[in-house]
Amino acid sequence: MPGNAATLTVSVKEDVAEGVVSLTLARPDGARLPDWTPGSHIDLVLPEGTTRQYSLCGDRWDAHTYRIAVLREPAGRGGSAYVHDRLRPGDRVGVGGPRNHFPLVPSEKYLFIAGGIGITPLLPMVRQAELLGADWQLLYGGRTRASMAFREELTEAYGERVHVVPQDELGLLDLATWLGTPRPDTKVYCCGPAPLLAAVEAACAAWPPYALRVERFTSAAQTAPVRDTPFEVELRRTGRTVTVTPEVSVLDAVRRAGADVLSSCEQGTCGTCLTPVLEGQPDHRDSVLADHERAANDCMFLCVSRSCGDRLVLDL
């Protein structure tokens, strides 16, 4: 699995609802994991090479484990099936990030709307809203009661703030009632399948700008599979080329080749080891770059990021 810092062990695998398993991940050496904030996701790199993104739904006060929940998607491309059918406690997986495109911004009131497995990023958010003393409500829809992960722990912990709406019992979420009147003091957070997001966006059309924040599950458009084979890194200024094997970080490899690269956290979070990329396509695994910065392919963090292709050329 690529890079030492990014290889985690599955410590617990458990069923949390019909068709949903949760994985607890930890570093093999038991050390701390990179910090994260509610709304963050990780790239999960499975042993057979596919990469999927999953929201972190655990407790950030536990610095030693990540928790994700994975829905079996029969129409998917095999990643969720692998997690459900083949991944076992003790297996190693690669992890990129965490990154957060769905941060919880300050507000007096929140309305959280989850559809199905879209509960996962919202789970740490409701805990956080509670800690902050905010006034919040969670509207949680799903096909059936049994398919809705974390339903019981949510209702036990938060009681009437949580509104569970199984579709087979109660129908679709009543968005017109919940969102019909814009409320300037409330932020709306929604995660779930595309039709729910579209319906919530339509229902929030009259709300103030930036009131609605959504997280899209993009299982259809996933990143390229991660290489499990070596690649070459050319140091253009030094004039050397080094082969990076799967168990070594690019940072370590170029240092061994004599390049001086300043780093600090070596977890892809602090931003110190940013290095210009002259040719090739980096496989970005950091927590820092925005999507458009990743897509530019002109820089990378050597401590965690790697290569999509056979060759990278760095300005070193």
Partner 1 sequence: MTEALERAVVPPVSDADPFAHEVLLDPEPLHQALREAGPVVYLSRYDVHALARYEQVHAALVDWQRFESGSGVGLANFRHEKPWRPPSLLLEADPPRHDAPRRILREILAPPALRRLRASWAAVAEELVDQVLAEGTEFDAFTALAEAFPLRAFPDAVGLGPDGRENLLPYGNMAFNAFGPRNDLVAADAHRTAELSAWVNAQCRREALSEDGFGAQIWAAADRGDLTYEQAPLVVRSLLTAGVDTTVHGLAACLYAFATHPGEWQRLRDRPELARAAFDEAVRWQSPVQTFFRTATTDVTIAGTIVPKDTKILMFLGAANRDPDRWHDPDRFDLTRDPSGHVGFGMGLHQCVGQHVARLEAEALLTALADRIERIELAGTPHRHPNNTLRSWASLPLRVQPTA
In the complex, the residues that contact partner 1 under the rule CB under 8 A are 32, 35, 37-38, 60-61, 63, 100, 103-107, 128, 131-132, 187, 210-211, 255, 260-266, 270-272, 274, 288-290, 293, 299
Residue nearer to partner 1 on the CB measure, 87 or 303? 303
**Pair of tokens at residue 143:** 């096909």
Residue nearer to partner 1 on the CB measure, 93 or 253? 253
**Pair of tokens at residue 76:** 């998917």
C-alpha span between 162 and 165 (Å, rounded): 10
C-alpha span between 115 and 147 (Å, rounded): 11
Name the strand (E) or helix (H) holding 82. helix 79-85
- Work out how close the CB of 271 gets to partner 1 at its nearest, in angstroms, rounded to a whole number: 5
C-alpha span between 120 and 231 (Å, rounded): 35
- Work out how close the CB of 296 gets to partner 1 at its nearest, in angstroms, rounded to a whole number: 9
Q: Please report the sign of the dihedral spanned by the C-alpha atoms of residue 129, residue 131, residue 137, residue 138.
A: positive
**Pair of tokens at residue 170:** 């109660």
Residue nearer to partner 1 on the CB measure, 128 or 223? 128
Residue nearer to partner 1 on the CB measure, 40 or 147? 40
Residue nearer to partner 1 on the CB measure, 187 or 306? 187
Query: b/e for 181-201, b at 16 or more Cβ within 10 A?
Result: eeeeebbbbbbbeeebbebbe
Residue nearer to partner 1 on the CB measure, 32 or 77? 32
- Work out how close the CB of 263 gets to partner 1 at its nearest, in angstroms, rounded to a whole number: 4
- Work out how close the CB of 92 gets to partner 1 at its nearest, in angstroms, rounded to a whole number: 24
Phi, psi (degrees; rounded to nearest 5) at 311: -150, 140
- Work out how close the CB of 192 gets to partner 1 at its nearest, in angstroms, rounded to a whole number: 22
- Work out how close the CB of 209 gets to partner 1 at its nearest, in angstroms, rounded to a whole number: 8
- Work out how close the CB of 277 gets to partner 1 at its nearest, in angstroms, rounded to a whole number: 12
Contact between 41 and 55 under an 8 Å Cβ cutoff? The reply is yes
Name the strand (E) or helix (H) holding 283. strand 282-283
The DSSP call for residue 247 is: T
**Pair of tokens at residue 172:** 């679709």
Residue nearer to partner 1 on the CB measure, 24 or 100? 100
